[in-house]
Structure 1
């Protein structure tokens, strides 16, 4: 690993792009255009006018051929060894059977030879097509689930593939790192309204109060924050928000929510060592989709949501999708709304099996109020009622408007090389005023507060371009990925303070009105960050061995200007990170693995002792794991044992001096089980996390468990249908979430652990009357028994947990 860091005055903030990044991106785009345009401009072959439409996703070649055989009636013959481990680009559109077979074999290294009996034999492309031995068995459709893609729907609650840990569509069994996949079906069944809700049944995750997560996707993974500063929150494999307070992501707009645990900078650049969360957007579909939901619930909750899509033309070359949601609701905290508007249109064009262009857009507005952090002693003593609004109705607000627009383009050339290009622009406008309630302990029944007024705008521009191709070196099969990505973030924050007219009397909370804001002292700043990365990854297969190796070079720069002092600063960093992993694949579905991976995270500022610019903090993880996912099953068992260290951590003393002397070490063990039966589904997770501060300028932190990280956490969700009991259409879900006590190092105090129970009762109304087919009704409860609890990120960062909430949903799909 190499690194270079420098710090210098910057004449201006936020206006100069990175020349290297722009030059590389333009060069890549020019080469892509030169290669793709002539190929795309060719006339459609006559076979494209055939009368049969196919929709076969990219994936394992044997599964794609089996599906083609079942749909077309072709008789195919091949040895299992010949097709094993090979990939197909998939098929979308109308084709004659022979042309469909030829398209599925593109880039696989195989060709089809027609026999005298009308069947087709698969041969290596280098061999001359001719008669093959008649003893080769025909390849017939088996009904397997390898047709899943890394961006498509999850089959029930059990995924088989993901791209978040590799940037390629890869089987989970071949991935040498812990990955959890939550599909849209699970998000809907558990009524997740935030990413934190969606990940509440996955191992290794700690989160704050749900009221806070309505505006912030704030998560701890394996003892490290993956959200603060956009250090681990991705959308469709690229960095998303530039400010953690931009409003979060709407789960209803997601096809998948994926969590990669542990260091993963080799493909994404600067990240938290805890890992990353990748939210996968819903995409256009050629299959007609019509869904409408009405929701009513606790605290005057009213919500309508819809998801629509389908093919535009008869050939399925054009397809669309529109996902939308509107919510008007109050909150369990008095005088706090929970309103949201969300709309996400998408359009896809696929002129042939080798080319696809998808446009993705979204617009989101959030209207709520910020949940101010509280002092530990005030929450632990219960002196502050958990439903009491501690702000001022005439002053407090949180209004967030975010817009995103991007594209994804893929093209596979005749030689099997695959080009992928993606880019997105994200903008956020946040108006955020609140009363700070953690400045002094409650005294004499009075709560003293300060006012904070914030006006913030942020943007993110990200692009990723890569080439992927397969080749063999002897018995070793390679899938090589090479690419360049670029991320530019701006964050312009204006912050003012003010005093409350009077203290809040908790016994008689009469509101004092709007506070007096000092508009002459802007405590905010204007910030710019840029990152350019070059990455290379090789996924290799040697018999039963699957090996992954990768390396990345990053160049990053940051600039800031303080509005209060006028001081300007800039910093440049570069770093090299890597990863290596190995998996052994047994025929029975067992897959043990071992991996080493790295991360880096820039630190802004200078060391108060040495005066040198901070170097990036670095993470390194060693992980050993075991998965079991038998073929033709809907079962996944996973276990992982890891050690994760982050060095060069910045800590501050009581005088706000900063020192880069810290180190955090996390060791743990995680279990995850997912099973989807005919009438029963089960999700189980357990995590033991020993995350300790090993070195720090603050003596009280040393050898203490990281705040808000429980040493043990356990969750279990079970869903049951009752068709065998004569109650077809009825389903019941029950969930249990246990979080052990957590630590507050600066106080030497403990936050009590808690156990929460969730429940779901649903019914398909079509079982009552055929005319109601597609109509469903469901009742969800979170924290069913209204358990009181709170979470703390520190002695002045505590928040109450969400009480019992109920939601009734009426849905209709046609």
Structure 2
């Protein structure tokens, strides 16, 4: 969708930028007469066909260039590495080609190298016949906006110019009336992020609560995150059974976009936490290119990764990309180990200049051994604390929790007349779980270590998710102004079957002493037929729309709504439960007011409607959550769009929010299931601030601060297992001179105290807590030459001892000690 980008006139010194949040509104009107400066950025574009190299440079730099691609056939570029302005970048890419880039009023044009043109020729548009020195060319376009698909690969940046994650409209971060964080490919690599769980742990405002080795809850603004999308299309899986969406390998994805706050417009569930959108890698290279890497690290980490793109036709219209990873590692947790394999393949076809078809498959399998199910106990039976041991475990040496996921997708993108675009997608995802687990409960005797109650069990599960999504978007004119519109429809079905197989050994064999536990426990036989079965089917149909109305040159309104219907059928051991929610209307409204060339103020309102799966003491499904979310803030776009900043105030009001019932589990439920009660008048309010992008040509950084308060109608704090305040910082700097090629970086993640209510072994209700703590992470990367590079990541460099999760059942899990990961990669 065409977007007019603002000219940046105000220049702020990078060091002072972190102190400028409070004075944005005033600074937006200052020094408007200053001339814009050419942005210097760090690029990493491999050698290859000249047309492709120019396109990647234009996307990364946010520039327009008009070329006649036919005249560049057979020409190659030496590539581009290091810090460059637009002029020096074009010069290097075009070196030896016989062409040069000339700047015009509307962008750049390509012409034969020679004497400088006359001023009149320089000022002429790309297609102007009065400029004979300029090559006949295609219409000038902004590659990053007009391209059917944009990628963050090769940009060397921590930010992106455009996102559609919040509303489905292609908007700049400054034009989006919600808080959005983007983890680009460069930032994922710099922070050594290998899976989605690690990516979320580095996202400002997102906290992790992990109780065992395979499952974790992620939350934002005081509520659990349960909205996930891939390429903008919602995917639905229950993480409680360990299907492992948090284990998705980041090697398959270009970037992660996190929209904080309610996002029911696109997801169908107006949960007020956040929506996480993963953007797949695609086959964009018209020449053979790729990267091979090997990694070694703490606790025997071994990782291999291959990412290869190749043309399938001589003209490059048919292209393929294959990504494969394999990882094995033991753990600081005794007896635990895990193997992971992921494969991803995609074929992208340019059916015409404005039509692209993508067909893809991915497969992932994870095989953990020695898993901890449900955490480890906190106290001895006399009430004294069990000493800290980060390697403690309650597993048996025969346990496993295998899980896998396979998906297939097809996506068609079509440019239409008048700047409109059509996108249709179909996705099928299948998951499987097979787990033999060992759970313990109670508190051991301090002298003998005996007394834990064993609970071996076997679980099996399968799930499938089918989604069809259709979107059309483009500009329209009304009331003398130009606006934008997006229309969409979505059909989805999720089915799952989960079953439990009880131990045939009755009564169970007593456990050995703890914490001296060595994992030796006789493996029982499990029932061949299920002891209980849970079937679930969800069907969802929705239509949605969003528009960006230009009320004036400086004021824009973003309006949207989603009309959906959801039918849920659940069967447990022959008993059927059904819920049907019809004509659910989820409105969205936002205003964005420019305060100057670089700063905007915004406000937004979103309705919340979220069906719940939790049940009360009588095994009745809780009423859907209803409420609303408001957000008010400032956003800034600095240094020619290389740096984005935001400051947001938010308030969330909800009714019927599930909270644990202090009476415990639902009577007679199989498997055991915590009962919940509905909290009325739940209210959360807080503040978030974030800066992300380029502070200087060789300096990238991300800084995020988040704080919230959450309580029910009586003022009682809720969701206390989530830290109220977080600070997350990461920065990297590419050195020059004699140290050219060396990049150094580091980050600090700090979070405040969190706690949970628990029953003490002596019977009283107490609070268990994790005090505030900070983790320091370091990285270094050295580019040996254009092909080879080596990286080192040190996580928790100060070896801080901390807990990642606390629960009412008086169990805990310790966080990872200091770890070192080294990798070497070869690019071609």
In the superposition, the TM-score normalised over structure 1's length comes to: 0.78
Of 515-524 and 433-442, deviating more is 515-524
- Do the aligned partners of 1:740 and 1:753 also contact (CA within 8 Å) in 2? yes
1:762 deviates by 1.6
Cα–Cα, structure 1 residues 682 and 503, in superposed 2: closer, same or farther, change >3 Å? same
3-state SS, counterpart of residue 381 of structure 1: coil
1:351 deviates by 2.3
* Cα separation, 1, equivalents of 2:327 and 2:620: 50
* Cα separation, 2, equivalents of 1:59 and 1:478: 29
Alignment-derived partner of residue 736 in structure 2: 723
Cα–Cα, structure 1 residues 367 and 521, in superposed 2: closer, same or farther, change >3 Å? closer
1:654 deviates by 1.0
1:469 pairs with 470, 474, 483, which one? 474
Q: Deviations over 1:212-242 (max 9, x none)?
A: 4xx446311111111xxxx312211122242
Alignment-derived partner of residue 172 in structure 2: 171
Gaps of 5+ in 1: 1-50, 75-100, 105-115, 124-128, 133-137, 696-701, 767-772
* Cα separation, 1, equivalents of 2:236 and 2:122: 56
2:509 pairs with 501, 509, 526, which one? 501
* Cα separation, 2, equivalents of 1:471 and 1:383: 67
1:546 pairs with 556, 560, 576, which one? 556
Q: Deviations over 1:414-433 (max 9, x none)?
A: 34442211110001111122
Cα–Cα, structure 1 residues 365 and 613, in superposed 2: closer, same or farther, change >3 Å? closer
1:587 deviates by 4.6
1:243 pairs with 233, 238, 242, which one? 238
1:720 deviates by 2.1
* Cα separation, 2, equivalents of 1:69 and 1:521: 65
* Cα separation, 2, equivalents of 1:727 and 1:293: 23
Cα–Cα, structure 1 residues 435 and 421, in superposed 2: closer, same or farther, change >3 Å? same
Q: Deviations over 1:624-681 (max 9, x none)?
A: 1111113624211111110112212234351646544434322111111123232222
Cα–Cα, structure 1 residues 263 and 740, in superposed 2: closer, same or farther, change >3 Å? same
Match status 1:263 vs 2:262: yes
3-state SS, counterpart of residue 424 of structure 2: strand
1:738 deviates by 0.7
Alignment-derived partner of residue 806 in structure 1: 820
Of 141-150 and 804-813, deviating more is 141-150
Cα–Cα, structure 1 residues 448 and 148, in superposed 2: closer, same or farther, change >3 Å? farther
Task: Please give the residue correspondences for 1:699-714 in structure 2 after superposition, counting only pairs within 5 Å.
Answer: 703-714=716-727
1:479 pairs with 474, 477, 484, which one? 484
* Cα separation, 2, equivalents of 1:393 and 1:613: 37
3-state SS, counterpart of residue 337 of structure 2: coil
1:617 deviates by 0.7
2:435 pairs with 432, 435, 441, which one? 432
- Do the aligned partners of 2:211 and 2:805 also contact (CA within 8 Å) in 1? no
Alignment-derived partner of residue 386 in structure 1: 390
- Do the aligned partners of 2:393 and 2:517 also contact (CA within 8 Å) in 1? no
Task: Please give the residue correspondences for 1:142-221 in structure 2 after superposition, counting only pairs within 5 Å.
Answer: 151-153=150-152, 155=155, 156-209=157-210, 212=213, 215-216=214-215, 218-221=217-220
1:299 deviates by 1.1
Q: Deviations over 1:66-109 (max 9, x none)?
A: 311698999xxxxxxxxxxxxxxxxxxxxxxxxxx9xx9xxxxx
* Cα separation, 2, equivalents of 1:359 and 1:139: 29
- Do the aligned partners of 1:242 and 1:490 also contact (CA within 8 Å) in 2? no
1:733 pairs with 742, 745, 758, which one? 745
Cα–Cα, structure 1 residues 313 and 579, in superposed 2: closer, same or farther, change >3 Å? same
Alignment-derived partner of residue 752 in structure 1: 771
Cα–Cα, structure 1 residues 735 and 415, in superposed 2: closer, same or farther, change >3 Å? closer
Q: Deviations over 1:124-177 (max 9, x none)?
A: xxxxx9999xxxxx9999999778987511631122221211223221111000
1:559 pairs with 548, 569, 579, which one? 569
Cα–Cα, structure 1 residues 59 and 648, in superposed 2: closer, same or farther, change >3 Å? farther
Task: Please give the residue correspondences for 1:38-53 in structure 2 after superposition, counting only pairs within 5 Å.
Answer: none
* Cα separation, 1, equivalents of 2:350 and 2:221: 41
* Cα separation, 2, equivalents of 1:334 and 1:615: 42
1:599 pairs with 593, 608, 625, which one? 608
* Cα separation, 1, equivalents of 2:223 and 2:556: 29
1:285 deviates by 0.9
Of 181-190 and 149-158, deviating more is 149-158
Cα–Cα, structure 1 residues 69 and 192, in superposed 2: closer, same or farther, change >3 Å? same
- Do the aligned partners of 2:148 and 2:413 also contact (CA within 8 Å) in 1? no
Match status 1:686 vs 2:705: yes
* Cα separation, 2, equivalents of 1:368 and 1:665: 39
Q: Deviations over 1:228-260 (max 9, x none)?
A: xxx312211122242212122111111011111
Cα–Cα, structure 1 residues 590 and 58, in superposed 2: closer, same or farther, change >3 Å? farther
1:560 deviates by 1.3
Cα–Cα, structure 1 residues 73 and 172, in superposed 2: closer, same or farther, change >3 Å? farther
1:118 deviates by 12
Alignment-derived partner of residue 109 in structure 1: none
* Cα separation, 1, equivalents of 2:799 and 2:489: 49
1:585 pairs with 574, 580, 594, which one? 594
Alignment-derived partner of residue 669 in structure 1: 687
* Cα separation, 2, equivalents of 1:620 and 1:721: 44
Alignment-derived partner of residue 414 in structure 1: 417
1:309 deviates by 1.1
Task: Please give the residue correspondences for 1:609-648 in structure 2 after superposition, counting only pairs within 5 Å.
Answer: 614-630=622-638, 632-648=640-656
Match status 1:312 vs 2:288: no
Q: Deviations over 1:714-765 (max 9, x none)?
A: 12112122214x2111121111111111021453343222111111122111
1:469 deviates by 2.8
Cα–Cα, structure 1 residues 519 and 765, in superposed 2: closer, same or farther, change >3 Å? same
Cα–Cα, structure 1 residues 442 and 538, in superposed 2: closer, same or farther, change >3 Å? farther
Alignment-derived partner of residue 85 in structure 2: none
* Cα separation, 2, equivalents of 1:407 and 1:139: 30
* Cα separation, 1, equivalents of 2:303 and 2:129: 63
- Do the aligned partners of 1:573 and 1:615 also contact (CA within 8 Å) in 2? no
Alignment-derived partner of residue 284 in structure 1: 283
3-state SS, counterpart of residue 283 of structure 2: coil
3-state SS, counterpart of residue 267 of structure 1: helix
- Do the aligned partners of 1:375 and 1:795 also contact (CA within 8 Å) in 2? no
1:538 deviates by 0.8
Of 244-253 and 368-377, deviating more is 368-377
Q: Deviations over 1:283-313 (max 9, x none)?
A: 1112543100100111111110011114333
* Cα separation, 2, equivalents of 1:291 and 1:377: 46
Alignment-derived partner of residue 66 in structure 2: 68
